[in-house]
Chains A and B, each alone.
Chain A
Amino acid sequence: MARKKKILVVEDSPTALSMLKNALECEGYQVITSETGEEGVKKATSERPDLVITDTLLPGIDGFEVCRRIKKRPGSVDPKVIVMTGAIDAVDAVKAKESGADDYTVKTSDLSPLIETVKKLI
């Protein structure tokens, strides 16, 4: 049986965090969390997740910086990164791509689009 895929969620709002965690765990993923960007970058190295989902607005370094740092690491296989934003802004999508993100999505109360994106990437 294939091992469970590991997802790291970087999100500072505890409610959003628990919502995401629950939804992803229901889909059979193993979920680890981080509430700040810096912690997220560290965990991306130490925990070796298959995928990182990061919010854009974070205390300290923002989601784009998190993405950039994770992608810059010299490593054989980077984790895929999804950048999630609460604000709809065309600049964000381009910014996400420029930071090296693999995909970009917005926060909605219905999490199925996010789950779909996750399934497509890992």
Chain B
Amino acid sequence: MSPVRNNPDLSGCRRALRAGRISNGVSGKMKNKKILELETVIESMGDGISLSDANGHFEIFNSKMQEITGYTIEEANSCGDFSTLIYPDPKERQKALEGLKKIRRGKDHKVETTIRAKDGSKKALLVSTTLVGYKDRDMFLSVYRDITEREMIEDELLKSRERFIQVADIAEEFIWEVDTNGLYTYASPAVEKILGYKPEELTGKKHFYDFFAPDVREELKKAAFEVFARKDSFKHFNNPNLHKNGKTVIMETSGGPVMDKDGNLLGYCGADIDITERKKAEEELKKSKEKLEIQAWGQQKTNEAIKLLYKELDTMNKKLQQVDQMKSDFVSHVSHELRTPLATMREANAQLLEGMRGPLNEAQRRYMEISQRGVDRLTRIINNLLDLSRLDAGKIKLERKSVDITILARDVMESLLPQADQKKIKLEDELPPSLPETFIDPDRIRQVLINLVGNALKYTKEGGKIKLSAKRKEGSLEVSVIDTGMGIPDDYLDKIFERFERVSKIPIPGVGGAGLGLAICKELLDLHKGSICVESRVGKGSRFIISLPIYKEKDFLLDYLGEQIQEVKKIHSFLSLIMINVENCSQLKKKWGVKTMTQVQKQLEDLISSYIRDPMDKVIRYKEDTLALVMIGTPKKNGQAVAERLNAQTKKYKFKAKDKTVSLSLRFKEVTYPADGQTEDELIKAVEK
């Protein structure tokens, strides 16, 4: 008997039946054997077999049929209309019966149908029916294949596909399938958003490589097919594509091979995401990073450059300092050289003018005077130059004294009054009767005031006015020189205190000078820790104001001590401080009044000063009732000796107050640096103990 194959095959059954017909002419035993064989075959078949007449009566109903339908042959034959049992739906029944009518001898009629089994379950069957002759009757021979499982699988498959489509529809990724040539067999709706094409424009029409950017298409296509050939899966393959509107879209593709059960490649399927934005962001980030790196490099290089430039500045500075020094040295040297011949000239002129070398006539006298004036002017200029160069070199030391400025001012007025009268300029003062004393170098300040008033005289015309005034302004003293002269243009105001700066390069008759005077004034004021400034209007006049701090006595001593200790330290020498205190000071003040007391104090100061030999020693007023004597280079025992000597000598002295003799009760206390203190504060503390 032929084996069971995929499709129910009737030929075997026919043969079996034919064998039965033929057996009619054969002996009984042989007939039984053949029938047994036949029965065995029919029973053993994996498909259901039935042989029924037009009335639905079953001659053959094998066990598989029983299995499928759930009914036995007896049940099937005794139920009346079997078709009603297995086709509960009249329409289905009708269809089946109609189908039977179409069946002819020798022709196979295949149909898929669904019956109801005895237990109510539905069975899907593939039925092959034909018409055969059996025992002189037309009989329906049917082979039934149970395809319920197959149907279920098909159902699952459908459901599975539906699920897939549902997901593919809503997924943002473009899900695709291509065949082995790369032709799209499936494209999810997302492709429209990503590439601008509808799925139907792709499936069956376009290849995946049709969308690659033209410049890389060939090489990407080649690479892709190489992967196909190896049947490899791939992930995150970046590829540039062209949107329908022409824009470039960067896709990230992942996919895998689709193979049949024999391992043959059917195609590829996978998903793409649009990473254009991501790529853009990555590019931006890279650019930013690069920019930052460049900035950092730039910063580093700039720092290095700054360092180099600083070094350069330093070198330049040093060179400048050198040059400055050289210049000062030069000026000083030259000035000294010039002084000598000038002095000679002056002397020679003077002698001639005195008539020591014979009488001079009028004209000769006049010209000699001109010459002498020239020599004087030259001398002044050279002295100014020397002054400046010494100021520069720090060689000028101030000889400070406690001075009332009004006295200085009046001095200056007196000296210059004759000149003013000569020029018919009114020289007046506006000075208070007195001002607090301050520690200044009176000669230098006098020099400044003479310079200022002298300038005023130079630049003021006949009939003009010059006023010298002084006043206290909080912690400073202000002295002003106001004139009604030419005035100074605005753009020169801040330059006039510079050296060699003169307002007009054109020499004005009667005005001389090398432009050094104001520069020297400024330097001198600076040394005093004071200041000088100017206000002026062209044609109206100028006002020069100098300001000097009122140095408190204590501060001055401390300052001075500090300075001297530094000097003394350098040469590993000593410094001695002797405090001379007037013990009955307040009593005497009450008795004689402040003014008299001040005079007495002055006497004491002068007395002490007269006893000191060394110009390096100084008497400085410390407090109202205390004088300080600072001696440089005096070791302890010498200092003490001096204190004792002074004590003895002052005891004998007769101080005068308002014609009366006063006796001062003086106390002497001595301390030495470094023995009694290393700093000015320590020394003061030690001496006041």
Q: Number of A interface residues, CB 8 Å? A: 17
Contact segment of A6-14, A19-27, A39-47, A87-95? A87-95
Residue in chain A with minimal CB distance to B319: A109
Contact B311 A110 (CB under 8 A): yes
Contact A94 B295 (CB under 8 A): yes
Q: How large is the interface on B (under 10, 10 to 19, 20 to 34, 35 or more residues)?
A: 10 to 19
Contact segment of B237-245, B299-307, B370-378? B299-307
**A18 lies within 8 A of chain B by Cβ:** no
**B315 lies within 8 A of chain A by Cβ:** yes
With the chains together, A94 CA to B299 CA distance in Å?
A: 8
Contact A108 B312 (CB under 8 A): yes
- Distance to closest chain A CB from B301 (angstroms): 4
Contact A88 B294 (CB under 8 A): no
**B285 lies within 8 A of chain A by Cβ:** no
A residues less than 8 Å from B503 (CB atoms): none
Interface residues in B290-318 by Cβ distance below 8 A to A read 294-295, 297-299, 301-302, 304-306, 308-309, 311-312, 315
Most chain A CB within a 10 A radius of its CB, from B295, B302, B304, B315: B302
Contact A93 B306 (CB under 8 A): no
Contact B299 A113 (CB under 8 A): no
Q: Of A85, A90, A104, A110, which contacts B315 at CB under 8 A?
A: A110
B residues less than 8 Å from A103 (CB atoms): 301
A residues less than 8 Å from B311 (CB atoms): 108, 110
Interface residues in A99-113 by Cβ distance below 8 A to B read 103-106, 108-110, 113
Annotate B267-303 by CB proximity to A: 1 below 8 A, 0 otherwise. 0000000000000000000000000001101110110
Contact A93 B308 (CB under 8 A): no
- Distance to closest chain A CB from B292 (angstroms): 11
With the chains together, A68 CA to B61 CA distance in Å?
A: 98
**A97 lies within 8 A of chain B by Cβ:** yes
B residues less than 8 Å from A88 (CB atoms): 302, 305-306, 309
Q: Of A85, A98, A104, A110, which contacts B312 at CB under 8 A?
A: A110
Residue in chain B with minimal CB distance to A106: B305
With the chains together, A105 CA to B300 CA distance in Å?
A: 11
Q: Of A93, A105, A110, A113, which contacts B298 at CB under 8 A?
A: A93
- Distance to closest chain B CB from A40 (angstroms): 22
With the chains together, A90 CA to B306 CA distance in Å?
A: 10
With the chains together, A105 CA to B309 CA distance in Å?
A: 10
Interface residues in B620-647 by Cβ distance below 8 A to A read none
Interface residues in A70-96 by Cβ distance below 8 A to B read 85, 88, 90-91, 93-94, 96
A residues less than 8 Å from B306 (CB atoms): 88
- Distance to closest chain B CB from A17 (angstroms): 19
Contact A106 B309 (CB under 8 A): yes
With the chains together, A93 CA to B305 CA distance in Å?
A: 9
Given contacts A88-B305, A104-B301, contact A97 B294 (CB under 8 A): yes
- Distance to closest chain B CB from A87 (angstroms): 10
Contact B299 A108 (CB under 8 A): no
Q: Of B299, B309, B312, B315, which contacts A93 at CB under 8 A?
A: B299
Residue in chain A with minimal CB distance to B306: A88
Contact B309 A108 (CB under 8 A): yes
- Distance to closest chain B CB from A94 (angstroms): 4
Contact B312 A97 (CB under 8 A): no
Residue in chain A with minimal CB distance to B305: A106
With the chains together, A9 CA to B467 CA distance in Å?
A: 67
Given contacts A88-B306, A88-B309, A93-B302, contact A109 B315 (CB under 8 A): yes
A residues less than 8 Å from B309 (CB atoms): 88, 106, 108
- Distance to closest chain B CB from A67 (angstroms): 14
Residue in chain B with minimal CB distance to A104: B301
Residue in chain B with minimal CB distance to A105: B305
Contact A94 B312 (CB under 8 A): no
With the chains together, A110 CA to B312 CA distance in Å?
A: 8
Contact A97 B305 (CB under 8 A): no
Most chain B CB within a 10 A radius of its CB, from A93, A96, A103, A113: A93
8 A-B pairs closest in CB distance: A94-B298, A93-B298, A93-B301, A106-B305, A90-B302, A104-B301, A97-B294, A108-B312
Given contacts A90-B302, A91-B298, A110-B311, list 14 more A-B pairs with CB under 8 A: A88-B306, A93-B299, A94-B294, A96-B298, A97-B294, A97-B298, A98-B294, A104-B301, A105-B305, A105-B308, A106-B305, A106-B309, A108-B308, A109-B312
Q: List 7 A-B contacts (CB under 8 A).
A: A85-B305, A93-B297, A96-B298, A104-B305, A105-B304, A108-B311, A109-B312
